[in-house]
Structure 1
Amino acid sequence: MLGHAARQPQTPEEAVLERVPNPNPGARYCVRFTVPEFTSLCPMTGQPDFAHLVIDYVPRDWLVESKSLKLYLTSFRNHGAFHEACTVGIAQRLVAELQPEWLRIGGYWYPRGGIPIDVFFQTAEPPGGVWIPPQDVPGYRGRG
């Protein structure tokens, strides 16, 4: 998709995640994507849900192509799923496509009904010898 016009996928299942060869296959490093305006729909009410996602991974042979990731993530705008299904499903899809050494996702969901829901997933313990900074997304505090 890189360098070409791309149609916005209507569902996450329809979205294509492209991968590119890791240009540094001998180096161990962390890649981070921060998605401060992720949107999906509540499957019960159809109301919009909003989250700040942070995706970290240590690649092996593949990197996710960022335009395809953006299109994949925006395909959730009209997709009804609970916070847990969105967050863990994104991680599982990335793991299936990239087969990284390690991956984690933090889904920091904004409150609905007064209760924020944060969802965290990782494939294993963080690998040693790789700088993996904390996600540092503050918990929801309201106006206080």
Structure 2
Amino acid sequence: MATFKLYKEGKDYHQISIKKIRDGLTKIAPLECFEFTAHAPGEHWVSIASPELTSICPFSDYPDFGAVTIEYVPNKRCLELKSFKLYINAFREVKIFHESLTELIFADFLEAVKPLKARISIDMNVRGNVKTVCKKYYKCSPQ
């Protein structure tokens, strides 16, 4: 898998813009979908999870480990799981804050799938006696 640096190394570290990160990830691991039609009444919820989310801590340069769960009500598309796995794995070399990681994954997911409703939870492992859980919710506006 191709990798690319999304940060500047050294003491003058700063995170490269989220747009540059999105553009880079989209090139090496785009999220793919397949067509979906519900055939029974009621809301059809889909839940996908990856317990192997990794990224790099911007301050310590140590890896951050966690899990990501996305739940959604599909509109006309569902997320293809292999592309999701490759997309999540692409964060291994990315220096990014947990909050920005949540925003980025969710924005890319919403753009690809265009669900009726969705929620994301990123549950990072404890580091330095501190645990981070980031959540975000989305509901499609009526047309």
The TM-score range, normalised by the shorter chain, is 0.7 to 0.9
Is 1:31 matched with 2:40?
no
Amino acid at match of 1:121: K
Aligned partners of 1:97 and 1:52: how far apart in 2?
20
Q: TM-score, normalised by structure 1?
A: 0.74
Aligned twin of 2:88 = 73
**Kept in 2: contact 1:41–1:81 (CA 8 A):** yes
Q: Does 1:95 align with 2:120?
A: no
The one-letter code sitting in structure 2 at the alignment partner of 1:101 is L
Query: How far 1:64 moved relative to its partner?
Result: 0.9
2-side partners of 1:67 and 1:9: how far apart? 17
4+ residue stretches of structure 1 with deviation over 6 A? Answer: none
Contact persistence 1:9–1:72 (CA under 8 A): no
Q: CA deviation at 1:98?
A: 1.0
Question: Which has the larger share of helix?
Answer: 2
Query: What TM-score do you get using the length of structure 2 for normalisation?
Result: 0.75
Residue pair 1:22, 1:59 contacting (<8 A) in 2 also: yes
CA distance in 1, matches of 2:120, 2:2: 22
Equivalent residue number for residue 22 of structure 1: 36
Provide the C-alpha distance between the structure 2 equivalents of 1:76 and 1:25, rounded to a whole number of angstroms.
36
Q: Is contact 1:87–1:119 with CA below 8 Å preserved after alignment?
A: yes
- Where structure 2 has 5 or more consecutive residues not aligned to the other structure, the ranges are 4-23
Shift in Å, 1:17: 0.9
Please show how residues 118-133 of structure 1 align to structure 2 within 5 Å: 118-124=133-139
Larger proportion of strand:
2
Pairs within 5 Å for 1:2-21: 8-10=1-3, 12-14=25-27, 15-21=29-35
> Do the aligned residues in 1 keep the contact of 2:38 with 2:44 (CA within 8 Å)?
no
- Residues of 1 paired with 2:2 and 2:107: CA distance? 19
Contact 2:55/2:94 (8 A) holds in 1: yes
- The CA RMSD over aligned residues, in Å, is 1.9
1:85-137 CA distance string (max 9 Å, x none):
11121111100111100110111111222101110001139xxxxxxxxxxxx
